[in-house]
Structure 1
Amino acid sequence: MIAEITAIALAAIFAITLHEAAHGYAARALGDDTAYLLGRVSLNPLRHVDPVGTLLLPGILLVTQLLTIGRVEAMFGWAKPVPVDFWRLRNPRWGMVLVAAAGPGINFALAIGFGFAAHLVTATDAMVPDAALDWVLRFCALSMLYNVILACFNLLPIPPLDGGRILVGILPAPLARMVASTERFGLLIVIGLLFLVPYLVPGFDPLRMLLQAVALPVLDAIFTLTGHGGGR
Structure 2
Amino acid sequence: MSTATARPSDRRISPVFLGIVAVAAVTGWATWTGFAEQPGLAVFLFVTAAWVVSLCLHEYAHARTALHSGDISVGAKGYLTLNPVKYTHALLSIVLPVLFVIMGGIGLPGGAVFIERGRIRGRWRHSLISAAGPLTNVLFAVVCTAPFWLDALDGVPRDFRLALAFLALLQVTAAILNFLPVPGLDGYGVIEPWLSYNVRRQVEPLAPFGLLIVFALLWIPALNGVFFDAIDALLRGLGIGEVDTYCGFELYRFWQTDPLCTPGG
- Same fold, TM exceeding 0.5? yes
Q: 1:184 aligns with which of 192, 199, 205?
A: 205
Query: In 2, distance between residues paired with 1:94 and 1:59?
Result: 33
Displacement of 1:151 in angstroms is 1.0
Query: In 1, distance between residues paired with 2:69 and 2:166?
Result: 32
Q: How does 1:78-93 map to 2 (within 5 A)?
A: 78=109, 81-91=112-122, 93=123
CA-to-partner distance for each residue in 1:136-164, whole Å, 9 max, x for gaps? 43443233211111111111111221111
User: Which residue is 1:23 aligned to?
Assistant: 62
Q: How does 1:55-134 map to 2 (within 5 A)?
A: 55=95, 58-59=98-99, 62=102, 73-75=104-106, 78=109, 81-91=112-122, 93-116=123-146, 122=153, 125=155, 133-134=157-158
Displacement of 1:230 in angstroms is 5.1
Q: Does 1:150 align with 2:174?
A: yes
Q: Does 1:39 align with 2:66?
A: no
Residues 230, 77 of structure 1: alpha-carbon distance in 2 compared, 3 angstrom cutoff: closer
Q: 2:226 aligns with which of 209, 222, 232?
A: 209
CA-to-partner distance for each residue in 1:13-59, whole Å, 9 max, x for gaps? 12322211110111112111222221102345565582565237735
Q: Does 1:50 align with 2:90?
A: yes
User: Which residue is 2:259 aligned to?
Assistant: none
Query: In 2, distance between residues paired with 1:114 and 1:166?
Result: 25
Q: Secondary structure at the match of 1:194?
A: helix
User: Which residue is 1:70 aligned to?
Assistant: none
Q: Which has the higher mean CA deviation after the structures are superposed, 136-145 or 43-52? A: 43-52
Residues 204, 161 of structure 1: alpha-carbon distance in 2 compared, 3 angstrom cutoff: same
Q: 1:167 aligns with which of 166, 187, 191?
A: 191
CA-to-partner distance for each residue in 1:117-145, whole Å, 9 max, x for gaps? 6779856x4xxxx8xx4454344323321
Q: Secondary structure at the match of 2:81?
A: coil
What is the percent sequence identity of the aligned residues? 22
Unaligned runs of at least 5 residues, structure 1: 66-72, 224-228
User: Which residue is 2:51 aligned to?
Assistant: 12
Q: Does 1:137 align with 2:176?
A: no
Query: In 2, distance between residues paired with 1:120 and 1:43?
Result: 33
Residue 58 of structure 1 aligns to which amino acid in structure 2? V
Residue 181 of structure 1 aligns to which amino acid in structure 2? Q
**Number of paired residues?**
201
Query: In 2, distance between residues paired with 1:219 and 1:180?
Result: 38
TM-score (norm 1): 0.69
Displacement of 1:109 in angstroms is 1.0
Q: CA RMSD in A?
A: 3.4
TM-score (norm 2): 0.62
